[in-house]
């Protein structure tokens, strides 16, 4: 398993454990990753193509944000979560200097 996969993430001030669960996506129609907000953990199928895994984790991160900010369950639809995750992920991936710039501004305040 690649060393650089994150084992913990901070989302809106809360830490979430990132836990590999071999066989999570068996049978194949199961999700590649799931989030348990009350336990503050994301489980993922580790035997995935790295790019597929990144997108699956990003999807779950958007779910965390959605659930932390909304009072209702499923305030935004699964389709909307997929779109938001895809947009944010592609922006970050295509603009590595964006994150650097954002962090640099924070440091200088
Ligand atoms: Zn989802």
CATH number assigned to the domain comprising residue 21? 3.30.2010
What pLDDT, on a 0 to 100 scale, did the predictor assign at position 108?
60
The answer to whether residue 27 sits within a structural domain is yes
Q: Measured between alpha carbons, how far is 104 from 109 in angstroms, rounded to an integer?
A: 9
What pLDDT, on a 0 to 100 scale, did the predictor assign at position 30?
77
The answer to whether residue 52 sits within a structural domain is yes
Structural domain boundaries enclosing 25: 8-108
Report CA(106)–ligand 1 centroid distance (Å): 31
Task: Output the tens digit of pLDDT for each of the chain's 109 residues.
Answer: 677 889 999 998 999 999 999 998 787 777 899 999 899 999 999 998 998 999 999 999 999 988 888 766 667 889 999 999 999 999 999 999 998 898 886 666 5
What pLDDT, on a 0 to 100 scale, did the predictor assign at position 1?
66
Tokens of 11: 């989302």
The answer to whether residue 1 sits within a structural domain is no
Q: How many domains does the chain have?
A: 1
Tokens of 107: 């440091």
The answer to whether residue 98 sits within a structural domain is yes
Q: Measured between alpha carbons, how far is 40 from 44 in angstroms, rounded to an integer?
A: 13
The answer to whether residue 3 sits within a structural domain is no
Report CA(82)–ligand 1 centroid distance (Å): 7
Global pTM reads 0.82
The answer to whether residue 36 sits within a structural domain is yes
């Amino acid at each position: 398993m690649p060393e650089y996969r994150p084992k913990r993430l901070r989302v809106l001030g809360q830490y979430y454990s990132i836990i590999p669960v071999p066989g999570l996506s068996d049978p194949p129609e199961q999700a590649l990753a799931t989030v348990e907000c009350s336990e503050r953990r994301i489980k993922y199928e580790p035997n995935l193509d790295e790019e597929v895994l990144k997108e699956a984790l990003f999807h779950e991160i958007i779910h965390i944000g959605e659930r932390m900010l909304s009072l209702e369950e499923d305030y935004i639809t699964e389709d909307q979560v997929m779109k938001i995750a895809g947009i944010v992920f592609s922006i970050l991936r295509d603009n590595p200097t964006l994150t650097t710039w954002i962090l640099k501004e924070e440091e200088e305040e």
